[in-house]
Structure 1
Amino acid sequence: MRARFILSEILTGLWRNIAMVISVVIVTAVSLTFVGTGLLMQKQIMDMKATLVEQSQVTIYMCSPHSTTASCAGGAATDAQVQSVRDALEGEELSRYVASYTERSQAEALKIYQEQFAGEGFAADFTEEDMPVSFHITLSSAEDSRAVVQFFQGRDGVDEVTDLLSVFAPFIDVLNQSTLFALGLAVLMLIAAVLLVATTIRMSVANRRREIAIMRLVGASNVFIRAPFLLEGAVAAIIGALIASGLLWLGLEYIVQGWLVPTLGKQIVSVGTFDLIWAAPILIALGAALSISSSVVSLNRYLKV
């Protein structure tokens, strides 16, 4: 009986303040969408960094017949120059930096090149001799990449030394800044949602003062009187969180999976609709928690029970 009464009071309160409730739902949905975006972007950044650390962080390209750098003035790298790089990677001096490395031969490089440019006429014009030998190094610590790059840069027979973390650093910086921007907007919108919930509760209390007075006279407990007001805000916030989850699903499905993944590749873009399995419950819990806390403060101020 009590549960039925509380449910009836919740529905009545929501209907009486329908305009404010819709405002709460919309503002909560928008704010939690930004929160979810920030969470997913931060996960993308962590996944990208983890992928770059697990993969070869530094790559050494030996000179090929087509290299034009000063260190390749003698033409393609000789066997002795290639061996000197091997010796350096296995030597004592770099042992604290290099966790492991793999060597890619000219034949392997040609095969990868032809796979990447399959169907292009110019791919058939290259032979093994045109491809450079390369070394792909996994470091003990990603922070040591600069030391390894400087060690091999400009060495005779070495055409180029690339650092994957440095290559993707601008992209990661953009994601970090976008995350901060999204979370900043989310904080502002959440504040607006909290204030709207408080206003809605205040209006509900004002509209039901006579009913509250009657419940007091018949001995209703504080929890029984407060429960409908608390749950009103929670219901509106949960609806907003569900809408936010739906908006995130649309973004992940059509923007991320439909555009970014085909453009950048699955190795770089790792977030997908499956991430809503953990993100959506966080948004729902956050929306409900903020709404209930705002309702408690508002009730303590406007409802002296």
Structure 2
Amino acid sequence: MRLKYVLNEVLVGLWRNVTMTIAMIITLTVSLTMLGASVLLYLQVDEMKDVHYGRIEVSVFLRDDVTDAQRTSLQAALQRNPLVKSLTYENREQAYARFQRIWSDSPVLVTAVRPGALPESFRVKLKDPETYDKLAAQLKDQSGIGTIVDQRELLSKVFAIFGSVQKLALVIAVTMAVAALLLVANTIQVAAYSKRREVAVMKLVGASNWFVQAPFVLEAMAAGVIGSIVAFAALYAGRSVLFGGPSGALTTVLTPIPEGNMWLMLPLLAAVGAGVSGITAWFTLRFYLRV
């Protein structure tokens, strides 16, 4: 009987202040969406580091006047080096063909570079990408080398940008969460004020604080769960748009979000939405319901 009463009061409370309830759900949805996006981005950047750092190569570009003896000596030194996992030689024709393939969408740039303009090089994959400095130190006195390029430096700049986006998304999520908490507290206060006489009578006849507060707390938790479901739907739709096949907007920048990480967001957002809303409502009522 008590459970039926509490659930009925939850439904009545949600409908009585329907505009406030909708505003609370929308605010919770936005904050939870930003929170979920920041968590997914955080997980994705870490996964991208594992994927891309494993593919990192060191490009050892040779001088235009390199001799056959210098090239052979350098190749032998790299093959003997314990830091090197694999080694690939690329002549000028192969370098130009790869350049044409990479920049096939920019024909003007391709036509501006003449065949033979790109230097020959050795593509070196290290056993541990962090040992680049050691390899560069060992090769600095080797003749025939023009420049040495570490792809890790380029990726580090990209990941630094992603890290900034992570922090920005988290700041926005926290800001929206504060706004959502204030709105939850205000909504619960309005609901409690509209039932102040009924609450007073219940307290006078000996109703416990938990029995009086339960409908309001469950009302806030229900709004949090609804907001989390809508937020998850928005994240899932966003994933489909941004990573949906070759035409996805971010498929060339980020690795696809794993299905497991995506579905992890639903219980996480539901727990955060319901938990935070319920705790906020409980604290609000603790200081507001005085008889």
Cα distance between partner residues in 1 of 2:181 and 2:143: 65
**8 Å contact kept, 1:82–1:157:** no
Paired positions, count: 276
Cα distance between partner residues in 2 of 1:253 and 1:272: 12
Counterpart of 2:51 in structure 1: which amino acid?
T
Instruction: Name the residue aligned to 1:136.
Output: 125
Describe the superposition over 1:97-146 as per-residue Cα deviations: whole angstroms up to 9, x where unpaired.
x3x51122559x959x67x949x8x9xxx9xxx9644321122x62x433
2:249 to 245, 259, 262: 259
**8 Å contact kept, 1:24–1:197:** yes
Describe the superposition over 1:146-166 as per-residue Cα deviations: whole angstroms up to 9, x where unpaired.
343344357323344332221
Instruction: Name the residue aligned to 2:50.
Output: 50
The answer to whether residue 78 in structure 2 is matched with residue 78 in structure 1 is: no
Counterpart of 2:3 in structure 1: which amino acid?
A
Choose 22-31 or 268-277, whichever is displaced more: 268-277
Counterpart of 2:143 in structure 1: which amino acid?
D
**8 Å contact kept, 1:59–1:161:** yes
Instruction: Name the residue aligned to 1:23.
Output: 23
Cα distance between partner residues in 1 of 2:141 and 2:194: 79
Counterpart of 1:74 in structure 2: which amino acid?
V
Cα distance between partner residues in 2 of 1:216 and 1:53: 64
Pair 1:296–1:154, CA change in 2 (3 A): farther
Cα distance between partner residues in 1 of 2:47 and 2:266: 19
Question: Could you state the TM-score of these two structures normalised by the residue count of structure 2?
Answer: 0.82
Cα distance between partner residues in 2 of 1:280 and 1:148: 46
**8 Å contact kept, 1:29–1:244:** yes
2:167 to 150, 174, 180: 180
Counterpart of 1:103 in structure 2: which amino acid?
L
Deviation at residue 244 of structure 1 after TM alignment: 1.1
1:295 to 271, 281, 284: 281
**8 Å contact kept, 1:60–1:134:** yes
Cα distance between partner residues in 1 of 2:135 and 2:25: 54
Unaligned 5+ runs, structure 1 = 64-70, 91-97
Pair 1:167–1:284, CA change in 2 (3 A): same
Deviation at residue 60 of structure 1 after TM alignment: 3.6
Cα distance between partner residues in 2 of 1:47 and 1:260: 15
Counterpart of 1:78 in structure 2: which amino acid?
R
Instruction: Name the residue aligned to 1:269.
Output: 255
Cα distance between partner residues in 2 of 1:74 and 1:106: 14
Cα distance between partner residues in 1 of 2:121 and 2:158: 28
Instruction: Name the residue aligned to 2:4.
Output: 4
Counterpart of 1:85 in structure 2: which amino acid?
L
Describe the superposition over 1:9-52 as per-residue Cα deviations: whole angstroms up to 9, x where unpaired.
00111111111111111111111111111111111211122223
**8 Å contact kept, 1:52–1:164:** no
SS of 1:260's equivalent in the other structure is: coil
Instruction: Name the residue aligned to 1:59.
Output: 58
Deviation at residue 173 of structure 1 after TM alignment: 1.3
Pair 1:152–1:72, CA change in 2 (3 A): farther
Pair 1:201–1:17, CA change in 2 (3 A): same
**8 Å contact kept, 2:85–2:124:** yes
Unaligned 5+ runs, structure 2 = 105-109
SS of 1:146's equivalent in the other structure is: helix
Instruction: Name the residue aligned to 2:179.
Output: 192
SS of 1:259's equivalent in the other structure is: coil
SS of 2:197's equivalent in the other structure is: helix
The answer to whether residue 200 in structure 2 is matched with residue 208 in structure 1 is: no
**8 Å contact kept, 2:59–2:150:** no
SS of 1:220's equivalent in the other structure is: coil
